Amino acid sequence: MRTLRKIGFAAGLALSVAVPAHAFASEPTIPPEPATFPAEGKIHYVARDSILEFKALPEYHEPDWVTEKYVKTGKLPPVKDRLPKEPLVFKTANMTDGTGVYGDTMRHVIGGRPEGWNYGAGQTQGWGGIDIGLSECLTRTAPLFQVEAKDTEPLPNLAKSWDWSSDGHKLTMHLIEGAKWSDGVPFNADDVMFYWDDEVVDPNVSPLNGATPETFGVGTTLKKVDDYTVEWTFKEAFPRQYLYAMAYGTFCPGPAHILKPQHPKYSKNTYDQFKNAFPPEYMNLPVMGAWVPVEYRPDDIIVMRRNPYYWKVDEKGNQLPYLNELQYKLSTWADRDVQAVAGSGDFSNLEQPENFVASLKRAADKNAPARLAFGPRLIGYNLRMNFSANGWGNPDERGQAIRELNRNEDFRKAVTMAVDRKALGDSLVKGPFTAIYPGGFSSGTSFYDRKSTVYYPFVNFLAGTAGGKNVEIVMLVNNDYTTDKSLAEGVVAQMEKLGLRVVLNGVNGTQRDAIQYSGRFDWLIRRNDQELTSVVQNTEQLAPVGPKTSWNHRAPESGEVDLMPFEKDLVDIVNKFVTTQDNDQRADLMRQFQKISTENVYNVGLTEYPGALIINKRFSNIPQGTPIFMFNWAEDSIVRERIFVAADKQAKYELYPEELPGKPGDKGPM
Ligand code: BQZ
């Protein structure tokens, strides 16, 4: 048994975390087999090409009231003229309840708040499915949870097809032709190029969800070929992986005809004025999504109405969406669970274990208004340390010394051994839900390999072992979630035995993102994102492959990322993964990644558990076994534009019945 070496640091900070001789480090091992937790609602796997296609249909339909109130009065062209030549057609065979009928609304409850509508400039709309519903992206991946891994490639979306050059360095993408923004203005390559040139490549702009040029490969370029064709050029050959980065979060273009005039390159605006040019009160921002924001009441509700130019249909030619309205009640994330099981809300991702038991009890009642089904263990939390020692976030002397500590392998091992993961999991919820999670990939992802996962078991260091003066570490935490706060408080208590005084900096989600992206933190608690639950989505966030891709290690304004040796290995593995087509090689690369990242404690896993989808029973076409999180959140995976409510189950919840969105910037519906 090795003894933890004395850890002491100059750097203006005398820290000695001396562990008494009788206390030993734990030997690295693999994590214990997690308690089996049968995911309910088995996924019905289908072929990738059985979900959708693009084709012209002999006839098209719309809600009768749209024809009567808007087409016959000349306010809108006929539906066939509002659709592209070949709309996206959802195949009936992939719709559990077949083609649907128009009517009703889906009442979301969310814990975030809208900063504004400028997604491309980094503003959040409050999460919880708002931005997912507004944003249509070049490709789509969320529905791929129902496609076997070997058959998986992103689905076409705004990009209806693509061709690789023979040498694999060029990708020609063909955009959907004739689709229009919700204000009737054509969508085309100019929208794609504005997003790329003026929001991703422009170093003064950071789109929401963090797209950077390196998200698509170092040195990658994009150019317009014609109105409906763009061409990617990559340094690597056949980097098919980047098709995932062209899906939601990282390649969802906004309306250039509205945004460009506000951009500093084309106006007298500052970058701040550009970012804030579309405040939450700005209604009817043109979208490619199925619903348009028509009403915003602060701390109360956002209402969205159906987009009359939406470019997707069912096989009978019914223009989608079936649901006329979406509502987002502005509350808390915990309240979302409560309202979904009570029936005053329609949807929740049950992701906070503190609510599991009460939600299960309520949903078990045969008259319960909502279905609740657990999926695989894909919700996890990591403690992430700021590894930058060359200036990211401009730390003061104390902060710099902490970063030096964070970069010390023995320090990280001491911290990970001091985490009592069983106690943390039990503090959230008792029972078979939580599992010991050392960090790295979620055990619910197909790339997970327990034997490649290095786990340093809990060591019960005796309290008061620290020599010298205690070190103070500031830990950033998202106060919007009970679970984030619970875990943070557990870490504070457990670190005391190491003589580490962890002080919480609890802020709301928007503030947390801003502080995190600027590097102004020592440690942070963060719920896992797609790179750890699907691996193929947001893959660049697995390691610092670019100056701004890692969650906890980025470059200072002018510099490089000061990679530690093991991080260089992680970067190499991720770069190889991106250009490897062979599935066995990809699986092996991710086993190597898992071993190196957990052996070196790249992040300190805390706990992981399954989430559950809660959805009101009146909705049809909910895909069986939809996980709340995998390639994306369930708001995307359930494919809301195909969901309907049978006529005899429709409730009168619509707030703007028979209304359509108004003109950009106008208040309210038309
Ligand atoms: C789901 C999701 C849809 C962001 C957000 C929020 C932000 C993070 C994360 C989740 C919320 C819900 O998650 O918790 O269940 O509805 O919105 O986007 O946590 O603070 O920055 O990454 O997705």
pLDDT in tens, 223-232: 999 999 999 9
Position 296 in a domain:
yes
The confidence score (pLDDT) of residue 646 equals: 98
Integer CA distances (angstroms), 471 to 252, 467, 667, in order: 43, 10, 53
Q: Are residues 510 and 562 in the same domain?
A: yes
Query: Are 400 and 471 members of one domain?
Result: yes
Q: Of 590, 609, 628, which one is at a domain's C-terminal end?
A: 609
Model confidence at 121: pLDDT above 60: yes
Question: For residue 22, is it within any domain?
Answer: no
Tokens 């915003």 -> residue? 296
Mean pLDDT calculated for residue range 332-343:
98
Residue nearest to atom 4 of ligand 1 (CA): 127
Residue 150 has pLDDT above 70, yes or no: yes
Is the minimum distance from the CB of 509 to ligand 1 under 6 angstroms?
yes
pLDDT, tens digit, 9 for 90 and up, residues 12-32: 333 444 444 344 678 999 999
Answer yes or no: is 15 within a domain.
no
Binned at pLDDT 50, 70 and 90, residue 462 comes out as: confident
129 Cβ below 6 A of ligand 1: yes
Residue-level pLDDT at 24: 60
- Shared-domain flag, residues 594 and 629: no
What digits encode the pLDDT tens for the residues 374-408?
999 999 999 999 999 999 999 999 999 999 999 99
Residue 485 pLDDT: 98
CA 6 – ligand 1 centroid, Å:
41
Pairing mode, if any, of strands 370-385 and 105-110?
Answer: unpaired
User: Which residue is associated with the tokens 């562990």?
Assistant: 19
In a domain, 343, yes or no: yes
Taking only the tens place, the pLDDT of each residue in 402-458 is 999 999 999 999 999 999 999 999 999 999 999 999 999 999 999 999 999 999 999
More confident residue, 15 or 503: 503
Cα–Cα distance measured from residue 388 to residue 390, given in angstroms and rounded to the nearest whole number = 6
Number of domains the chain is built from: 2
Domain that holds residue 604: 377-609
- Ligand 1 atom nearest 131 alpha carbon: 18
DSSP of 354-413 = GGHHHHHHHHHSTT-SEEEEEEEEEEEEEEEE----S-TT---HHHHHHHHHHT-HHHHH
Q: Which atom of ligand 1 is nearest to the CA of 351?
A: 15
State both tokens at 308.
């009359």
Q: How far is the CA of 329 from the centre of ligand 1 (A)?
A: 15
- pLDDT at position 148 is 87
Which of 633, 635, 637 is the pocket-test mutation for ligand 1 (most atoms within 8 Å of CB)?
Answer: 633
Structure-token pair, residue 429: 């919820």
Asked whether the predicted pLDDT for residue 179 surpasses 80, the reply is yes
Mean pLDDT for the stretch of residues 22-46: 83
Ligand 1 centroid to 28 CA: how many Å? 33
Show the 3-state SS of 204-229. CCCCCCCCCHHHHCCCCEEEEEECCE
Burial class from Cβ neighbours inside 10 Å (0-12, 13-18, 19+) for residue 520 reads middle
What pLDDT is recorded for position 464? 55
Asked if 411 and 327 sit in the same domain, the reply is no
Q: Which class for 27: exposed (0-12), middle (13-18), buried (19 or more C-beta within 10 A)?
A: exposed
- Residue 552: CB within 6 Å of ligand 1? no
Task: Please indicate, yes or no, whether residues 131 and 234 belong to a single structural domain of this protein.
Answer: yes
The answer to whether 308 and 661 have CB atoms below 8 angstroms apart is: yes
Mean per-residue pLDDT over the chain, rounded: 94
Atom 12 in ligand 1: residue holding the nearest Cα: 128
Instruction: Decide: helix, strand or coil at residue 73.
Output: coil
> Could you tell me if 283 and 301 are in contact, meaning their C-beta atoms sit under 8 angstroms apart?
no
pLDDT on residue 13? 39
Count of alpha carbons within 13 Å of 357, Cβ hemisphere only?
A: 7
351 lines ligand 1 (CB under 6 A): yes
* Ligand 1 touching residue 635 (CB < 6 A): yes
Please give the C-alpha separations between residue 30 and each of 26, 37, 645, in angstroms, as whole numbers: 12, 19, 47
Lowest mean pLDDT among 27-36, 468-477, 478-487: 468-477
pTM, whole model, 2 decimals?
0.95
- Which CA distances in Å does 29 have to 34, 415, 417, 451? 15, 16, 12, 9
Distance 128 CA to ligand 1 centre (A): 6
144: helix, strand or coil: helix
Label residue 7 by pLDDT band (50, 70, 90).
very low
pLDDT at 149: 78
* Pocket of ligand 1 contains residue 572 by CB under 6 Å: no
**What CATH number should be reported for the domain holding residue 193?**
3.40.190.10
Q: Is 248 in the pocket of ligand 1 (CB under 6 A)?
A: no
- Which pLDDT does position 465 carry in this prediction? 55
DSSP-derived secondary structure for 451-496? GG--B-----PPTT-EEESPEEEEEEEETT-HHHHHHHHHHHHHHG
